[in-house]
């Protein structure tokens, strides 16, 4: 990274797509490649649940059932995180915004600091494949690297390629029932944001049914072009 950037020049990217589309996997790859910070409201909420904060306690049951956590809670968590100094490197929003109210709150927050959205990138996938993707996935509990029973196994089973950790975890809401609820919430509340961002001239669409590396290449090109 070449020096400290002023707030006005920090790139802001949004990844849109249903659960299982690969937002988290791709956001981490973009973080590694471009030095941007991945901001996942799902991760922030899971950390709040684990820490037993007031927001975490309020969110816990809703998340397990696959519903959406209230806008107030999510917006407050995101606002705090965006104010951290590392975000001046640029951010990839993964899982936020998920409702019209969140999208408007984000626009207001960015306007306050003279920032703009470089691109809202929709990862386009078939719903039918999402359940398989989600049902097979797990994460290294030590460093957070994502794996999948069929699509991305570590070199040695049970041992994280990145950090050597052996504490692999599966999410509490990756059950068939919760996944169905999450897909439904996505279509009802989040998919309309695709036209919202098209109307703001920042929408980009990336086909996300290919391999992780193919998608990363296409997405990387879109990000690079929109970063300027």
Site for ligand ADP contains 90 (CB under 6 A): no
* Residue 50 C-beta: closest distance to Zn ion, Å: 17
Q: Are residues 90 and 37 in contact, defined by beta-carbon separation less than 8 angstroms?
A: yes
Q: Are residues 127 and 179 in contact, defined by beta-carbon separation less than 8 angstroms?
A: no
Site for ligand ADP contains 41 (CB under 6 A): yes
From 28, 98, 116, 162, active-site residue: 98
Q: Are residues 115 and 11 in contact, defined by beta-carbon separation less than 8 angstroms?
A: no
Judged by CB under 5 A, the chain residues 8 through 37 that form the site for Zn ion are: none
Judged by CB under 6 A, the chain residues 114 through 153 that form the site for ligand ADP are: none
CA atoms within 13 A on the CB side of 74: 27
* Interacting residue with ligand ADP among 91, 98, 133, 154 (CB under 6 A): 98
Site for ligand ADP contains 63 (CB under 6 A): yes
Q: Which residue is nearest to ligand ADP (CB)?
A: 42
Per CB under 6 A, the segment of 6-14, 58-66, 81-89, 215-223 that binds ligand ADP is 58-66
Site for ligand ADP contains 56 (CB under 6 A): no
Q: Closest CB to Zn ion among 117 and 160? A: 160
The three-point CA angle 188-193-197 to 5° equals: 165
36 Cβ contact list (under 8 Å, min separation 6): 11, 13, 30, 89, 90, 91, 92
Pairing state between β 137-140 and 146-148: antiparallel
Per CB under 5 A, residues contacting Zn ion are 140, 142-143, 145, 160, 162-163, 165
């Amino acid at each position: 990274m070449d020096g400290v950037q002023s707030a006005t020049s920090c790139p802001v990217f949004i990844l849109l797509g249903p659960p299982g589309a690969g937002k988290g996997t791709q956001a981490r790859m973009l973080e590694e490649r471009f030095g941007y910070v991945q901001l996942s409201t799902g991760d922030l909420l899971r950390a709040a649940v684990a820490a037993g904060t007031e927001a975490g306690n309020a969110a816990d049951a809703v998340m397990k059932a696959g519903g959406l956590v209230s806008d107030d809670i999510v917006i407050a968590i995101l606002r705090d995180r965006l104010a951290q100094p590392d975000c001046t490197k640029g951010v990839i929003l993964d899982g936020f915004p998920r409702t019209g109210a969140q999208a408007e709150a984000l626009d207001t927050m960015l306007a306050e600091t003279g920032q703009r959205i470089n691109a809202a990138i929709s990862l386009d996938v078939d719903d039918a494949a999402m359940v398989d993707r989600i049902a097979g996935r797990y994460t290294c509990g030590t460093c957070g690297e994502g794996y999948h029973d069929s699509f991305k196994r570590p070199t040695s089973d049970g041992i994280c390629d990145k950090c050597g950790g052996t504490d692999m975890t599966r999410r509490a809401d990756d059950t068939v029932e919760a996944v169905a609820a999450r897909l439904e919430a996505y279509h009802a509340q989040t998919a309309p944001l695709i036209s919202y961002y098209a109307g703001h001239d920042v929408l980009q669409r990336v086909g996300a049914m290919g391999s992780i590396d193919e998608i990363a290449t296409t997405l990387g090109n879109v990000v690079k072009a929109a970063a300027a």
